[in-house]
């Protein structure tokens, strides 16, 4: 892991420049330009709020905020996981010409996704003002939740990135799996209220994104302290996955160029 942190520091500036370049390229040919980063999450929030709020008669007066907070975390998680499996293949030109620790590619991607998540959470704060949600000191506890989300997602992403080099269909399987996870994660419904019982209890403990979204809503919307025990457990799982991911990438990264 020492080599990992050394490389992270060494290639940090490259990762930041790469992330900035990708963000600029995304909006280069768009009429809305950078406003698209605001419009996109806002539109998804409006769609889910309309469908699951009005059509299905959700009576929660803060439902739009509820959805926006969930979507902010989900989109980061989904983009990282779905993008990891083919990340090395999509950067074939870079990987085959120069040496760069392969997890730096994932780190660079994560910076773009963190930027977009920050915008989404900013929109959530704006909605909270509109819907009259009371602000409290508990909101600063969103940062431990986001740290756990990042560590866990980065660990899973590194492992998927490694196996995606030799298993071309991994990205397709990941995409299917993430669709199932999406509907079980409680993005647009409260798992405790809708499911409850044993199923709700299990989902909130075996599905990390469902748990983290629930904890994020606790601190952002309901002025509650998150589950310290749950956060520590998932942080430990994330750290273990990160160690595994770093190990396999360091061991096999020299062979990636030959495979792709």
Q: The domain containing residue 156 runs over which residues?
A: 2-259
Count of domains observed in the chain: 1
pLDDT exceeds cutoff 70 at 258: no
Mean pLDDT, range 5-24, rounded to an integer: 87
The predicted-structure confidence for 170-200, as pLDDT tens digits, reads as follows: 888 998 999 888 888 888 888 877 776 777 7
pTM equals 0.90
Mean pLDDT, range 43-65, rounded to an integer: 73
The predicted-structure confidence for 104-141, as pLDDT tens digits, reads as follows: 999 999 999 999 999 999 988 988 888 888 889 999 99
Long-range contacts of 87-96 (CB under 8 A, 24+ apart): 87/157, 87/161, 87/164, 88/161, 88/164, 88/165, 88/256, 88/260, 89/164, 89/165, 89/260, 92/260, 95/256, 95/257, 95/260, 96/257, 96/260
């Amino acid at each position: 892991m020492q080599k990992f942190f050394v490389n992270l520091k060494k290639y940090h500036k490259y990762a930041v420049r790469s992330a900035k370049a990708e963000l600029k390229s995304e909006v280069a040919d768009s009429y809305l330009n950078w406003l698209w980063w605001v419009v996109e999450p806002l539109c998804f929030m409006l769609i889910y709020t309309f469908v699951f709020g009005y059509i299905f008669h959700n009576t929660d007066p803060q439902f739009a905020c509820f959805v926006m907070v969930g979507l902010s975390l989900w989109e980061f998680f989904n983009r990282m996981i779905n993008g990891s499996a083919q990340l090395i293949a999509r950067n074939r030109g870079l990987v085959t010409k120069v040496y760069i620790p392969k997890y730096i590619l994932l780190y660079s991607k994560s910076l773009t996704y963190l930027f977009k998540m920050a915008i989404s959470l900013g929109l959530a704060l704006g909605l909270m003002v509109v819907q009259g949600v009371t602000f409290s000191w508990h909101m600063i506890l969103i940062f431990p939740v986001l740290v756990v989300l990042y560590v866990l997602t980065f660990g899973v992403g590194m492992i998927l990135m490694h196996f995606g080099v030799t298993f071309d269909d991994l990205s397709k399987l990941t995409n299917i799996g993430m669709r199932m996870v999406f509907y079980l994660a409680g993005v647009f419904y409260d798992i405790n209220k809708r499911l409850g019982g044993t199923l709700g209890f299990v989902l909130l403990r075996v599905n990390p994104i469902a748990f983290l979204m629930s904890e994020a809503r606790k601190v952002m919307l309901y002025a509650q302290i998150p589950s310290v025990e749950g956060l520590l457990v998932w942080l430990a799982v994330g750290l273990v996955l990160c160690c595994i991911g770093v190990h396999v990438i360091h061991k096999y990264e020299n062979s990636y160029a030959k495979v792709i």
